[in-house]
Amino acid sequence: MTAYAAPSLTIRGRRFDWGTRTYLMGVVNVSPESFSGDGLADVAAAVAQARRFAAEGADLIDVGGQSTRPGFAELGVEAEIERVVPAVAAIVAAVDLPVSIDAYRAPVVAAALDAGAHLVNDIWGFRHDPGVARLVADRGAPAVVMHNQRGRLPAVEGEFHDVVADLHAGFEASLAIAATAGVPRERLIIDPGFGFGWTVEQNLEMLRRLGELRDLGLPILVGTSRKSTLGAVLGLPEADRIWGTAATVALAIANGADIVRVHDVAQMAQVCRMTDAVVRGSASEDRRA
């Protein structure tokens, strides 16, 4: 597997060397409406889950306070802040891992960064609120920029013709916003947005062709965990999609993913270690070594 041109990235004192192994991002949802059925209602439960994920081999913790499932009504800004800020602050204090805020509105991101978050995970890739890019630049934070197919801009990107062409167009728009705001490119991670506005067939094609995004020279995050495409293929509810998740995680790594965002950390840590041993020739017993 060819190494990335992007340099290593240090987040909360931890160095992420892209291409050497797969990093695990554990999902902590403080949104009771979460599609995956893992939404937590209080801070103590969120901290307990983050601690468990750290013990199971997570490299990052991603905290989100709003469901992003299709058709869900958007929370008010203040309501989202009230959910995420106490959880972020408590997890940062309890767990010695980088903590990400999964949010796309500048006031929420600012409040989470003030509470100690180290990384911004924007499911709209700065295109919903360019103020997020300015915050990232001002605070010196790394960021995940996702292509959200729900938010395609036909006037900019043209009509849909091809999964990878759409992804490239979307990332070019996000990266242009980042550049204008002054965000260094080496602090960015891209996410193709599996499950965000794509059909089942397009999601599967995305995984098959993931390696075609490597020409952007940026680390790739993929989040397939428990998503509806797995349910459509397997005919199973969210809680029973662990083996489907395992298959897609292994394929994502084989096709170029550097970070996988998952709900089931212990099981996916084994998948990552085994797949890395095959794909990268890396069989380290300590995933965070």
pLDDT value at position 134? 98
Helix (H), strand (E) at residue 52: helix 43-56
* 125 located within any domain: yes
Domain containing residue 58: CATH number? 3.20.20.20
248 lies in a domain?
A: yes
Residue 241 falls inside a structural domain: yes
State CA 184 to chain mean position distance: 19
Q: Any idea what DSSP says for residue 193? A: -
Kindly state the average pLDDT of the residues 153-165: 69
Q: In angstroms, rounded to a whole number, what is the distance separating the alpha carbons of residues 126 and 130?
A: 5
State how far the Cα of 249 lies from the Cα of 268, in Å rounded to an integer.
Answer: 8
Amino acid at 227: K
| Position 14 in a domain | no
- Of the listed ranges 126-130, 178-182, 227-231, 285-289, the least confidently predicted one is 285-289
Choosing from 227, 241, 273, 287, the catalytic residue is 227
Note whether residue 257 is domain-resident. Answer: yes
Contact 206, 146 (CB under 8 A): no
Number of domains in the chain: 1
DSSP count for the chain of H helices, then E strands: 10, 10
Q: What is the largest CA-CA distance in the chain?
A: 49
Active site residue 226: no
pLDDT digits (tens, 9 = 90+) for 235-270: 999 999 999 999 999 999 999 999 999 999 999 999
Q: Which of 83, 226, 241, 261 is catalytic?
A: 261
Q: Is 288 a catalytic residue?
A: no
51-66 average pLDDT score = 97
In the chain, the N- to C-terminal Cα span, in Å, equals: 20
Q: Write the pLDDT tens digit of every residue in 19-49.
A: 999 999 999 999 775 544 455 778 999 999 9
143 domain residue, yes or no: yes
Q: 3-state DSSP call for residue 8?
A: coil
Q: With a cut of 50, say whether residue 289 has pLDDT above it.
A: no
Whether 118 is covered by a domain: the verdict is: yes
Nearest Cα to 194, choosing from 250, 150, 240? Answer: 150
9 lies in some domain: no
pLDDT at 6: 74
The domain in which residue 166 lies consists of 21-279
Contact between 142 and 101 (Cβ < 8 Å): no
